[in-house]
Amino acid sequence: MAVFNYNKVALENLKIEDTSVLDRLVNFESALQAHKKKEHAKVDKRMTLKEAIATFISDGDVISDSGFSYVRTPHQAHWEIMRQEKKNLQMIGAPNTNQSFMIFNNNVNLSHNSYAGVEMRGIDRNYDRMLKTGRTKILSEWSHGGVALGYKAAQLGTPGVFSKQMLGSDIMKYNPYLNVVQNPMRSDPDPVVFIPALYPDVAIVHCQLADKYGNAYIYGPTVNDVAAAAAARKLIITAEEIVPESDIRNRQGTIIPFFYADAVVELPFGAVPGNMPGYYYWSRQWWEKLIRFGCVNDENLKIFFDEWVYGVKDQFDFVNKLGGSRWIAEARMQTKAAEGDHEDIDFSYEEYTRTHDSGLYY
């Protein structure tokens, strides 16, 4: 049985006494067993989102976040986790911040952080509040590149990688998984950080196309998703469209192989209200409303989620609230223009502010 050597300074600084809570993320043997036990035969793995979340996410699991900054992020799956009231989840907030909302809804209470915020829309005041009121506890601090290397090490089939990232910073004092060692290849002083291979319990990857077996095609930035999919004990693929296997075989691009996948969910609008390359642009006003109204205090956030998560049945309902087919047409046109050649499309919109709510989400 693996016995882990955690960074003692970090354990002390983070006041972590029972280290067993840290083990699953770096427990190669248990990930290996999980990968061996998966269905290796090429079988139809389609199911509904409800079934996939109910079957493959258990209370206490370590969940990874995929996509980048509200691009191709599986928001609708996250909200199904919220609706199913999963408990005691650990979440890796890299490279997104969506754990913040699951903390508020008592689904997540342990955080691995590399970023929490909405870029230029500012800091996430909800995460700030959740941390200060003890509703989540930090298990580890990272840089984006540190987490990316941890997943990559797992995908590469190695116990970990040596890095020059995070050296000398205070991140090292708040990450039990990281230790500084001497580069064994050199005899002159050369400190390096050992980043262990990271094995989340669950990865949920939203992609453009998948076949029923779980071969999943990603277009646009893949970020960490292929590595996290390879590492995770359980992989849920949600896809804008389910296509025949021949369609996947005829494509070139990034494919997650079917044998990583445990569940395949046909989920049009699965990344709404984020951006889905090839399909739809952000609902920018929705995010502004979340950050500028919702995140301000607990009361507002409850109103916001009662309306947008608990008040909707599914993503189709959600899209109807955003403006229905009009929203779809606008959002599709905008992402195509952003990716391609529609020079006359204007990206201006009516920004949501606390004194101005146009009620429009496109």
Partner 1 sequence: MKDLSAPANPLETLAYILSKQIRDHQIVYIGTGIPMIAGILALKTHAPNITMVYESGGQDPIPRDLPWSVGCPFTWRKSPAVMEMSYSFAQCYNGYVDIAFLGFAQVDMYGNVNTHQIGKDVLHPTVRMTGSGGNNDLASLSDNLILVGVQTPDKFVEKVDFITSVGYLTGGNSRKEAGLIGDGPKVVISQCGEFDFEPVTKRMRVKTLAPGWTFDFTQQFTGFELLKPEGEIPQTPLIPDDILKLLRTEVDPRGVFTTMPTA
The residue ranges that bind partner 1 (CB under 8 A) are 13-15, 67-71, 93, 95, 113-117, 119-120, 123-124, 127-128, 131-132, 138, 141-146, 148-149, 151-152, 164-171, 174, 180, 189-192, 220-224, 226-227, 275, 277, 281-282, 284, 335, 338-340, 347-348
CB of 51 to partner 1, least distance (A): 30
Q: In the complex, what is the shortest distance from the CB of residue 333 to partner 1, in angstroms, rounded to a whole number?
A: 12
Nearer CB in complex with partner 1: 63/192: 192
Residue 182 C-beta: closest distance to partner 1, Å: 9
- Shortest Cβ distance from residue 177 to partner 1 (Å)? 15
If the CB atoms of residues 43 and 329 are measured against partner 1, the closer one turns out to be: 329
Task: Give the nearer residue to partner 1 in terms of CB position, either 317 or 339.
Answer: 339
CB of 85 to partner 1, least distance (A): 26
Least separation in angstroms between residue 103's CB and partner 1 is 12
Residue placing its CB nearer to partner 1 in the complex, 76 or 86:
76
Note whether 285 and 91 are within 8 A (CB): no
Residue with Cβ nearer partner 1 (178 or 248): 178
Nearest to partner 1 of 287, 318 (CB atom): 287
